[in-house]
A and B are shown apart, each in its own frame.
Chain A
Amino acid sequence: MGLRGDAAIVGIAEYPHTRKYDGERKFTLSQWAELTRMALHDAGLEPEQIDGVCCSDIREAGMFTPATIVEYLGRPVNFAERIDLGGANAVGMVWRAAAAIELGICDVVVCALPSLPTPRDPSPPPPSPEMFFGASSARWGSPQGEFDIPYGNLAQNCGYAMIAQRYGAQYGYDAEAMAKLVVDQRTSGAANPNAAFFRSPVTVDDVLGSKVIADPLHMLEIVMPVAGGGAVVLASREIAERCNHRPVRVTGFGEHLTIKTPTYAEDLCVTPVGPASRQAFAMAGVVPGEVDAAEIYDCYTITVLLTLEDAGFCAKGEGMRFIREHDLTFGGDFPLNTHGGQLSMGQAGAAGGMTQVVEAARQLMGRADVRQIAGCNTVYVSGTGGVMSEQSALILQGG
């Protein structure tokens, strides 16, 4: 079962992530074209070689998104996917692209998640109070609208906070360990010029002294919204060998979806990234101890903690100890989110997970500059959508 490892990421593109974007506002379609151009240029590919796209929502269309994009790019394709997995989009795009390439239906697939501000609409639709419900649907008949929104259980903070509280009751909670996770990631992020928190390390005291947003989560344990976005281009083995960089082969993947609202999870502390990661590792023939870096989706500290456990980097209930005992910076013994993670990059909407994919590719291509890990050959990447609703995992390998 699974991939042969013939498809590879061959080019990457990333907007600098910024809290206050002061550049030109661009339509999502324009950003799509720009990121595509950047990623192709990086790989050494020509636009006419594109024959597949993986996209998510765009500002300018509510449906028929892939057709709208390929028309704008002027590129007919044999393969088009619109992914609706929130923060798991980037990982979901990469494995779908790799699978399509291995099936032989396409050779060059662009996966882009642009998230810069778009131009101000001269005749904006009337604002609706429901837009504040975010990822929770208030439509009639929606279970969220009927059984969660009336109780205020919406947005992401309270869901993740309730997971963290439950974890604490079951396994114990060490707020300082969670703060150390932020500190280590922000140390790496301080060395990443694309990160919103470039040159801005923090201390454990900074984290624990930041405002509690929803118990037990402090502000610095939560991603900050930013402008950003990124893209990767994947290609078949034959094409990848002629590209500019060391091919980043997709050798394993997994994806697992369980619930929309965590209230209905069978066990709040056992997350879908477990089955997704087991499949990814098995497919690649790799065990967790063999990875050179882990780029773990980090909307919150608790997300990273549970992924460390459920993906098999440590046992259930051991995550806090694991964080205390390892140096998680890019120079450490367990390099975790070597770009600083989204806790350093900031979160550019559902494009956040693309930072993890791009950084994994950078490390495997040997292009991570001061953050480069020596001899980086195998990287684990995870994606998380909703409130641990849908999660995905990749094993990427160089060569």
Chain B
Amino acid sequence: MEMKFERPLPQETPVTRPFWQGLRDGCIRLQRCDDCGRWVFYPRSHCPHCLSEALSWHTASGSATLYTYTIARQPTAPHFAEEVPQRIAVVELEEGVRLTTTLVNVADGDIRIGMAVKPVFDRCSEDVTLLRFEPA
């Protein structure tokens, strides 16, 4: 049976919409807890540090460093067959939260854990912009 593997795109929820809207607008919007003051990622209804519901949205600086990465030389799913090698990474934002991303505009040999990176807003469709990173 022929199966079609379209690239999986995120489907936002009422809780996460401001984050994805931020990416569409070209900025990283993050939640911060009004009660304990800590930053939160991924967006959620309750603070994972104190379970407060008082989370408000703020624009992150965009400063970030590479926490770790790998170069997947076999696709992690058939959907990504055309993206191999996949430069999958975890990036730490200046605010202290980490997120999953991919690295772009960098040669494999130039990737260093700890290097400064900056956001790339990758418009995949009218509805979805993904957040990728490149060397700062």
Chain A residues within CB distance 8 Å of chain B: 127, 129, 132-133, 138, 140-141, 143, 145-155, 157-158, 161-163, 165-166, 169, 211-215, 261-264, 268
Contact = CB atoms under 8 A, between A and B. Distances in A.
A165 B76 contact: no
Given A143-B42, A146-B13, A152 B80 contact: yes
Contacts of B3: 127, 129
A150 B98 contact: no
Given A140-B11, A151-B101, A166-B67, A129 B5 contact: yes
A74 to B, nearest CB: 39
A146 B76 contact: no
Nearest to B6: A129
A293 B87 CA distance: 38
A162 B88 contact: yes
B60 interface: no
Given A127-B3, A158-B86, A214 B73 contact: yes
B73 A211 contact: yes
Contact of A129 (B10, B68, B70, B78): B78
14 contacts: A127-B3, A129-B79, A143-B42, A145-B11, A148-B100, A152-B72, A152-B75, A153-B88, A158-B88, A162-B69, A165-B69, A169-B113, A214-B74, A215-B71
A161 B72 contact: yes
Given A155-B76, A157-B74, A158-B70, 17 more contacts: A132-B77, A133-B8, A140-B13, A146-B11, A150-B9, A151-B101, A152-B86, A162-B88, A162-B90, A165-B68, A165-B113, A169-B68, A169-B113, A214-B72, A215-B71, A263-B90, A268-B67
A152 B86 CA distance: 8
Contacts, number: 113
Give the 4 A-B CB pairs with smallest separation, nearest first: A161-B70, A169-B113, A166-B68, A146-B10
Most A C-beta atoms less than 10 A away, residue of B1, B5, B10, B114: B10
Interface size bracket, B side: 35 or more
A262 to B, nearest CB: 8
A178 to B, nearest CB: 15
A261 B68 CA distance: 14
B127 interface: no
B21 interface: no
Contacts of B73: 211-215
Nearest to B12: A146
Given A129-B4, A161-B72, A213-B73, A153 B11 contact: no
Contacts of A212: 73
B116 interface: no
B10 A154 contact: no
B68 A157 contact: no
Interface in B33-92: 42, 67-80, 83, 86, 88-90
Contacts of A158: 70, 72, 76, 86, 88
A7 B77 CA distance: 43
B130 interface: yes
B106 interface: no
Contacts of B102: 151-152
Interface in B88-130: 88-90, 98-102, 113-114, 128, 130
A158 B7 CA distance: 18
Contacts of A268: 67-68, 90
Interface string B1-31: 1011111111111001000000000000000
Contacts of B72: 152, 157-158, 161, 213-214
Nearest to A169: B113
B100 A213 contact: no
Contacts of A148: 100
B101 A213 contact: no
A150 B74 contact: no
B21 to A, nearest CB: 14
Contacts of A154: 76-77
B55 to A, nearest CB: 15
B95 to A, nearest CB: 14
Nearest to A161: B70
B125 to A, nearest CB: 11
A158 B101 CA distance: 12
A357 B100 CA distance: 34
Nearest to B9: A150
B118 to A, nearest CB: 17
A147 B42 CA distance: 7
A314 B110 CA distance: 33
B88 A151 contact: yes
A263 B48 CA distance: 15
B33 to A, nearest CB: 16
A339 B82 CA distance: 39
B83 A152 contact: yes
Greatest chain A CB density within 10 A among B88, B98, B114 is at B88
